[in-house]
Amino acid sequence: MGTRAFLIPYLIALVLEGIPVFYIELAIGQCLRRGSIGVWTAVSPYLGLGCLTVSFLVSLYYNTVLSWVLWYLLNSFQDPLPWSSCPLDINRTGAFEAECQASSTVSYFWYRQTLNITADISDNGSIQWRLLACLAASWAVVYLCVIRGIETTGKAIYFTALFPYLVLTIFLIRGLTLPGAVRGLIYLFTPNVQTLRNPRVWLDAATQIFFSLSLAFGGHIAFASYNPPRNNCEKDAVTVALVNSLTSLYASIAVFSVLGFKAANDHGNLLRLLNAFDLPDQSISRDDYAAVLAHLNATQPESVARLPLEVCQLEDFLDKSASGTGLAFVVFTEAVLHMPGAPGWAVLFFGMLFTLGLSSMFGNLEGIITPLLDLGVLRRSVPKEVLTGLVCLLCFLSATCFALQSGSYWLQVFDSYAAPLNLIIFAFFEVVGIAYVYGMPRFSDDIACMTGRRPGLYWRVTWKVVSPLLLLTIFVAYIAVLAWTPLSYRAWDPQYVGPLGATGSHFGPALAFPWCHTWQDGCPKLQEGGAS
């Protein structure tokens, strides 16, 4: 859809949905001084249990992504970088791996050397021990940071919060000096009015707010319970939400300046191919580039004329670059290869991602541990370090399925269906519970006691009318999308070698759709079949 079309609905959702719900969570946690289960007992204890469950599920796959980042970080201390060239085929002396030549060096390192991925979700494959070791290391780091709750988390957050700003600033300065950076920024800030007519853009923006601000996970309620009773939680809610959004925008500027360089670089490669082989202008698309280049390396130039060629535009690169894990592990790693001192930039980039991931995990773990303490699952004589260790161990053991060769597919399923709909439901009942069950007058009195003034008209209107209606609309729209859109995941087929570079596969849980499409290297292809 493009980030440029995403900013407008995102900002609207932030004002009408994100900040009001965020304020409720901070205020209720600070007032009642409990975790999600204790806070929502007056409304329904199941609401708190739901928040705890979602925090647990999200922690499983979120820390798996953190383990992938750790793997790339460790591999970044090499010169040249291991994804800079294709490895030799062990069965043919002097020849390169055919799978790598048919795709790209960064895609091969990601899909084959890192994930060693299977062709579809029905083939689980075996445990990838190096990824399992990285997963264990990631959970060990998280445990050490949250071992004593807010005491150790508060100290770790100074580094995990400030270090990414330093790295983003370095990348921004470097990115703005690269050719094509301006085109990337123009793309970012040029609204696409046509795309705004797509309801899915508005739905995605509204649901993204939950992950951007970590709403309905229970972590904010737990953290707010440690605030001083007279803390100005209204100021905290507005300030943190705005700083979070401005940071996202700041990161987008840094990322799109580098992506603009990457797009311009690939665009230049296409032009060089066109000129070298005397082909018509705009006859090779970005989708075909890797396959065409591999083909030209192995065959005669005359074969190029028989390839299916399309129009090439610089914007196409950017439209297909920023999506999913491919942005960090494929697109951005390839862009780093073209920068002088590539290993240093790779260390900075993946070091930044690791610290950002740690910061998010602090909130997820606090959203699990604090409610468990409220429930009294262990005797008070048992140290909190033991409960934290048991939670981290349980999460690690539960997440070992993501270290399988098919783990990336299962992670995509979790990411798409484990949290978004649940978070919408929980946020709706949080707002309705405060406005109509706990009572707006009572809640206003609590806020006045904490901050010295009652909530203004904006807060009362959004809590009682706007936010509930918006959340209900999002819920209905999300259900409609699930009902009418085939469920899918992205697949990698190592047996397919050709200019399309794509394969299809299926996922059909609750809704038994006969087919759906997936992507490899950005190229779509439909294929019948299913996964049990």
Task: Name the binding residues.
Answer: 212, 244, 356, 360
Q: DSSP 3-state assignment of 9?
A: helix
Amino acid at 216: A
Rg for the chain, CA atoms, rounded: 24
Question: With contact defined as beta carbons under 8 Å apart, do 491 and 120 qualify?
Answer: yes
Angstrom distance (rounded) from CA 159 to CA 478: 37
Q: Give buried/exposed letters for 312-345 (b at 16+ CB in 10 A, else e).
A: bebebbbbbbbeebbebbbbbbbbbbebeebbeb
Angstrom distance (rounded) from CA 179 to CA 269: 14
Q: DSSP 3-state assignment of 518?
A: strand
Beta bridge partners of 520: 523
Angstrom distance (rounded) from CA 382 to CA 399: 26
Q: Which residues sit in the known binding site for Na(+)?
A: 212, 244, 356, 360
What number of other Cβ atoms are within 10 A of residue 473's Cβ? 13
Beta bridge partners of 524: 519
Query: What separation, in Å, do the N-terminal and C-terminal C-alpha atoms of the chain show?
Result: 31
**Which of 82, 248, 241, 105 shows the shortest CA–CA distance to 164?**
248
Cα 165-170-176 angle, rounded to 5 deg? 120
* Residue 305 DSSP class: G
Q: How far from chain centre, in Å, is Cα 185? A: 21
* Residue 41 DSSP class: G
